[in-house]
């Protein structure tokens, strides 16, 4: 880790470092730990990058669009973006979802016309960073309910966006949905879960 920390952002991996990372990732013990990654806090894009170390380790490596989309940066504070589409001016606020960040949202509430509420489907078997006794999906359900019933948003359109479908589709094969929804009694197949109206839990 010290070697990686000392590297410049644009510096390629050395052959020794790349080899060590590949050996570590292929180790059976590490793979066993990874199979239980819902039990601890691991970035959900780790497998994507570690599975592709040969490409990432090339001296000519440049991030692809998918690499960039898979990169995770925790939102802290409020990020404001302005853009124009079809002669309409939009103002977008990206706010951190962590409990410690929510008190800052009040500064964005005035004249809001729409809210896009994002929920990672794959987090149904994970716990919060800040409170490891609370299921992430349960927290999202409570937060979504509080926003929908907030007096500030009685005339505001609210859009629910369920993302990370690909991770959910893989995870559901080995991690039961009953971890989050004990009332679910169907088979652990993605299409079967969708027929159960997963989105109607919100």
Condensed to tens digits (0 to 9), the pLDDT of residues 148-165 reads 998 888 889 999 999 999
Q: Rounded to two decimals, what is the model's pTM?
A: 0.74
Q: Is 122 annotated as a binding residue?
A: no
Q: Is 41 annotated as a binding residue?
A: no
- By mean pLDDT, which of 73-82, 170-179, 191-200 is the weakest? 191-200
Q: Does 6 have pLDDT greater than 60?
A: no
Q: Is 96 annotated as a binding residue?
A: yes
What integer pLDDT is reported at residue 1 of this predicted model?
A: 46
> How far apart are the C-alpha atoms of 10 and 19, rounded to whole Å?
19
Mean of the pLDDT values across residues 108-116?
Answer: 83
- By mean pLDDT, which of 61-65, 84-88, 172-176, 193-197 is the weakest? 193-197
Q: Is 45 annotated as a binding residue?
A: yes
Q: Is 200 annotated as a binding residue?
A: no
Share of the chain above pLDDT 90, in %: 42
What integer pLDDT is reported at residue 10 of this predicted model?
A: 62
Q: Is 166 annotated as a binding residue?
A: yes
Scored b (16 or more CB within 10 A) or e, 29-55 reads eeeeeeeebbeeeeebeebbebeebee
């Amino acid at each position: 880790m010290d070697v990686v920390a000392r590297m410049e952002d644009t510096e390629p991996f050395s052959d020794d470092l790349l080899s060590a990372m590949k050996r570590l990732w292929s180790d059976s013990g590490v793979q066993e730990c990874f199979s239980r990654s819902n039990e601890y806090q691991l970035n959900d894009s780790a497998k994507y990058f570690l599975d592709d170390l040969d490409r990432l380790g090339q001296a000519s490596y440049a991030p692809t669009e998918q690499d960039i989309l898979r990169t995770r940066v925790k939102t802290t504070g409020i990020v404001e973006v302005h853009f124009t589409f079809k002669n309409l001016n939009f103002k977008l606020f990206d706010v951190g979802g962590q409990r410690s960040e929510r008190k800052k949202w009040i500064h964005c509430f005035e004249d809001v016309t729409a809210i896009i509420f994002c929920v990672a489907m794959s987090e149904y078997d994970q716990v919060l960073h800040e409170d490891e006794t609370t299921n992430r999906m349960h927290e999202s359900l409570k937060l979504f309910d509080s926003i929908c019933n907030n007096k500030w948003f009685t005339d505001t359109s609210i859009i629910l966006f369920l993302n990370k479908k690909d991770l959910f589709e893989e995870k559901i094969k080995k991690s039961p949905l009953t971890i989050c929804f004990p009332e679910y009694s169907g088979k652990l197949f993605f299409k079967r879960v969708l027929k159960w109206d997963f989105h109607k839990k919100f």
